[in-house]
């Protein structure tokens, strides 16, 4: 953990956040994740709605009617003065109608299309989650980088203060000039300025990570534990990307939806057959003379003339299928190229980190030699300043290279569909 974090936070109350923790929190708690989940829920509801037409339907109806007069006439079948009521003044009826589709190719095809759309929504949700994971990695690495940079500047500030104090002692002993002292004072002031800027960058990075991952403001940074990657099988990763990457899975699902939609248009030319049953109870039996009646039957319907609607639908779904096929091909090609690019970036980042680490070691060794020469009088204070600046630049390069390694590893996971 950085020195600035120790100065600003209470360790006893802080939440430690590892790289994996940041990823998990971003995927679960960010607003983008909530939107993706909502889209998946909508697709799930659409699939359920499409399938509902295949299940039994039951409709109940209660009807009350009040007429201005009652219609009745003498019963011709019974000579007892009774009346047959055709229309009661107050009529009440209760009915229930059950329907079950027996043959409906169009509905089955549309249900299949809705199911494929749901699969696409799930893949898109996964893709959004993986993008969030990569963003969380970048934000976490940024906090780590700015914290390490602040630590380096703090150490160099302490060193600059020690050198300034030494120059003051040397001037009092007439072993250093006023110019040397002024240069040491300027170095101390510049280091303080850089430390303030480093603190601001560190606070900004922490704020961005907290916002993305829903973290409390007093969190602490954990230490990454992922083992270094030695080798990669490019062909295997490309195949995995084509079978696991969310963009490819979504494109495949969209193609299946387009195929199902095409079959739905063809099925529109076939009849729909359904069984229907109805039971009705009323206080107005009319000529039937029965308070309860029922019927059952089979309905078949076939559209004959629709103004060209089915032809237009056929043209539309054909274009949709062509577009879905092209999008799938593009997604697979993009997955292949993204894997190669990610592997190249990962390899380059690893090499850059090795070089940057060596440069830090060399800069520190050179600084030790220059400081020894300064103590012996064979090096000037300007040489010492140059050596300090070389160490700072080398440390900055190492910090950036280390962050690039972590991000490149996660980018490989993203392009192969394994970021979450």
Question: Do residues 271 and 301 touch, judged by C-beta distance below 8 A?
Answer: yes
Question: How do residues 316-326 score in pLDDT, each as one tens digit?
Answer: 888 888 999 99
pLDDT reported for residue 61: 94
pLDDT reported for residue 418: 85
Residue 132 backbone class (left: φ over 0; alpha: ψ -120 to 50; beta: rest) = alpha
More confident residue, 71 or 157: 157
For residue 93, give the 3-state DSSP assignment.
strand
Question: How do residues 176-194 score in pLDDT, each as one tens digit?
Answer: 788 888 988 999 999 999 9
Residue 299 has pLDDT above 60, yes or no: yes
Lowest mean pLDDT among 108-122, 133-147, 217-231, 325-339: 217-231
Confidence of residue 311 (pLDDT cuts 50, 70, 90): confident
Residue extents of the structural domains in the chain: 3-54+104-268+303-415, 56-73+82-103+271-302
Question: Do residues 234 and 23 touch, judged by C-beta distance below 8 A?
Answer: no
The CATH number that domain 3-54+104-268+303-415 falls under is 1.20.1600.10
pLDDT reported for residue 185: 92
Mean pLDDT score, 79-98: 82
pLDDT reported for residue 9: 42
Query: What is the number of other CB atoms lying within 10 angstroms of the CB of residue 64?
Result: 9
pLDDT reported for residue 278: 92
Question: Do residues 248 and 242 touch, judged by C-beta distance below 8 A?
Answer: yes
The CATH number that domain 56-73+82-103+271-302 falls under is 2.20.200
**In the chain, what percentage of residues exceed pLDDT 70?**
94
Question: How do residues 214-253 score in pLDDT, each as one tens digit?
Answer: 888 888 888 766 545 556 889 999 999 999 999 999 999 9
**C-alpha angle 42-44-46 in degrees, rounded to nearest 5:** 70
Lowest mean pLDDT among 9-13, 50-54, 67-71, 300-304: 9-13
Rounded to the nearest integer, the mean pLDDT of the chain is 85
Query: What does the block give as tokens for 21?
Result: 């923790």
pLDDT reported for residue 352: 94
CA proximity to 213, closest of 12, 24, 414: 24
Strands (DSSP E) found in 305-360: none
420 Cβ contact list (under 8 Å, min separation 6): 23, 27, 126, 129, 130, 133
Bridge partner list, 276: 99, 297
Question: How do residues 361-391 score in pLDDT, each as one tens digit?
Answer: 999 999 999 988 888 878 888 888 899 899 9
pLDDT reported for residue 70: 82
Give the whole-angstrom CA distance, residue 239 versus residue 323.
23
- Phi and psi, residue 337, nearest 5°: -70, -40
Question: Do residues 411 and 241 touch, judged by C-beta distance below 8 A?
Answer: no
Query: What is the number of other CB atoms lying within 10 angstroms of the CB of residue 312?
Result: 12
Residue 25 has pLDDT above 80, yes or no: yes
Residue 12 has pLDDT above 50, yes or no: no
Give the whole-angstrom CA distance, residue 328 versus residue 109.
21
pLDDT reported for residue 24: 87
The sign one gets for the Cα dihedral 7, 9, 15, 20 is negative
The sign one gets for the Cα dihedral 212, 213, 217, 220 is negative
Kind and range of the H or E run holding 264: helix 246-267
Mean pLDDT score, 335-350: 93
Strands (DSSP E) found in 143-262: 220-221
Question: Do residues 117 and 255 touch, judged by C-beta distance below 8 A?
Answer: no
pLDDT reported for residue 232: 80
**C-alpha angle 180-186-191 in degrees, rounded to nearest 5:** 125
What count of Cα atoms within 13 Å lies in the side-chain half-sphere of residue 389?
Answer: 9
pLDDT reported for residue 195: 94
Task: List % helix, strand, coil for the chain (3-state, nearest 5).
Answer: 65, 15, 20
Residue 4 has pLDDT above 60, yes or no: no
Question: How do residues 266-282 score in pLDDT, each as one tens digit?
Answer: 777 788 899 999 999 98
pLDDT reported for residue 241: 92
Q: Are strands 220-221 and 272-282 parallel, antiparallel or unpaired?
A: unpaired
pLDDT reported for residue 228: 53
Helix axes 19-29, 105-172, angle to 10 degrees: 140
More confident residue, 153 or 175: 153
Give the whole-angstrom CA distance, residue 358 versus residue 57.
75
Question: How do residues 36-82 score in pLDDT, each as one tens digit?
Answer: 788 888 888 888 888 888 889 999 999 988 888 888 777 776 777 77
What size, in residues, is the chain?
420
pLDDT reported for residue 263: 77
Long-range contact set of residues 293-302: C-beta below 8 Å, sequence gap at least 24 = 298/102, 298/273, 298/274, 299/273, 299/274, 299/275, 300/271, 300/272, 300/273, 300/274, 301/271, 301/272, 302/270, 302/271, 302/272
For residue 75, give the 3-state DSSP assignment.
coil
Report CA Rg, the chain: 39
For residue 17, give the 3-state DSSP assignment.
strand
What is the model's pTM? 0.72
Give the whole-angstrom CA distance, residue 110 versus residue 253.
14
For residue 296, give the 3-state DSSP assignment.
strand
């Amino acid at each position: 953990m950085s020195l600035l974090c120790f100065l600003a936070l209470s360790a006893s109350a802080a939440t430690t956040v590892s790289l994996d923790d940041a990823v998990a929190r971003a995927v679960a708690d960010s607003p983008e994740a909530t939107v993706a989940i909502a889209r998946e829920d909508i697709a799930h509801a659409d699939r359920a709605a499409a399938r509902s037409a295949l299940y039994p339907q039951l409709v109940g109806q209660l009807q009350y009617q009040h007429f201005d007069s009652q219609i009745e006439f003498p019963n011709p079948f019974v000579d007892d003065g009774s009346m047959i009521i055709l229309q009661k003044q107050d009529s009440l009826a209760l009915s229930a109608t059950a329907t079950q589709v027996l043959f409906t190719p169009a509905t089955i095809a549309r249900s299949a299309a809705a199911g494929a759309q749901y699969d696409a929504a799930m893949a898109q949700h996964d893709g959004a989650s993986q993008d969030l994971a990569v963003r969380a990695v970048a934000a976490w690495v940024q906090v780590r980088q700015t914290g390490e940079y602040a630590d380096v500047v703090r150490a160099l500030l302490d060193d600059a203060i020690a050198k300034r104090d030494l120059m003051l002692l040397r001037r009092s002993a007439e072993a250093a000039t006023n110019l040397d002292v002024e240069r040491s004072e300027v170095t101390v002031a510049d280091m303080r300025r850089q430390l303030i800027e480093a603190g601001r960058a560190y606070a900004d990075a922490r704020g961005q990570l907290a916002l993305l991952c829903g973290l409390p403001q007093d969190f602490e940074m954990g230490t990454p534990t992922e083992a270094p990657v030695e080798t990669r099988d490019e062909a295997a990763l490309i195949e995995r990307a084509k079978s696991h990457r969310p963009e490819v899975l979504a494109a495949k699902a969209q193609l299946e939806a387009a195929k199902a939609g095409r079959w739905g248009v063809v099925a529109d030319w076939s009849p729909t057959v359904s069984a229907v049953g109805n039971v009705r109870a009323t206080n107005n039996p009319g000529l039937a003379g029965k308070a309860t009646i029922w019927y059952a039957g089979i309905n078949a319907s076939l559209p004959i003339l629709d103004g060209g609607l089915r032809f237009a639908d056929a043209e539309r779904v054909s274009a949709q299928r062509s577009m879905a096929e092209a999008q799938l091909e593009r997604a697979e090609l993009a997955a292949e190229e993204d894997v190669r690019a990610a592997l190249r970036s990962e390899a380059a980042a690893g090499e850059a980190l090795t070089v940057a680490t060596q440069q830090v070691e060399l800069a520190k060794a050179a600084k030790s030699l220059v400081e020894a020469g300064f103590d012996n009088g064979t090096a000037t204070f300007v040489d010492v300043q140059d050596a300090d600046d070389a160490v700072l630049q080398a440390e900055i390069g190492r910090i950036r290279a280390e962050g690039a390694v972590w991000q490149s590893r996660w980018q490989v996971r993203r392009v192969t569909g394994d970021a979450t």
